[in-house]
Amino acid sequence: MTSAPAKEPMQSALQTLVATVPVERVRRPSGRSERSLIRGAQAGSQSDMELLFRRHWPRAYRAAFLIVHDHAAAEDIAQEAFLAAIRRLDRFDRRRPFGPWLGAIVANRAIDWVRARTARREIDSLSPEPVASGDPPLGAYSGELLAALASLSAEHRAVVVMRYVLEYTPGEIARALELPRGTVNSRLRRGLDVLETRLREAELR
């Protein structure tokens, strides 16, 4: 794994980037416990499903966006992932938090979306455009980090987002993506090398 000095500025920069990703505002979630909401959702309560959605929507959407770099697609992915999670609640271990489980579904769907887009572009011979020109402006480092993330493969991008945005451990990432732990670590190192280079370049401008 990378050393602590490399992790801290990278985590801070990614958290800054996450905070600048525009997300549709939703009403403040209820103060009810997550377990209570999950029980209600599993029993078919629409209101509990909505409250659970509000609680986890911003983080799921931002994670999806940082992988796919497309606002409309990120919204679709986050919504579809949530619905998939609801359909699979019978498999969910209620002793564990819901967010990481949902995040794994988001990451896998986002990777699939990027792969499909890449395949379409290869067929059509189109050049990728990581961030559409009509997207809202982002904050400090955001342009550089988004460009750096876009230069990574979907697989490398996903492990960086899961590690530093969703705060998974490498072991949790390996289980969520069904990868060997060594593969996760190598993708993290590669992703961080690219992002750190871009940050240094930005600081020198």
Cα–Cα dist 191/106, whole Å: 19
- The interaxial angle of helices 46-68 and 4-20, nearest 10 deg, is 120
Cα–Cα dist 169/180, whole Å: 13
- pLDDT, residue 176, reads 87
Q: Which CATH class is domain 9-20+32-204?
A: mainly alpha
The verdict on pTM exceeding 0.85 is no
Give the residue from 90, 119, 100, 93 showing the smallest Cα distance to 60. 100
Q: What string of pLDDT tens digits covers the 205 residues of the chain?
A: 444 334 556 666 665 555 555 555 444 455 678 889 999 998 989 999 999 999 999 989 989 999 998 999 999 999 999 999 999 988 888 888 898 889 999 999 999 999 888 777 666 554 444 444 344 444 444 677 777 788 888 899 999 989 988 889 999 999 888 999 999 999 999 988 888 887 777 666 6
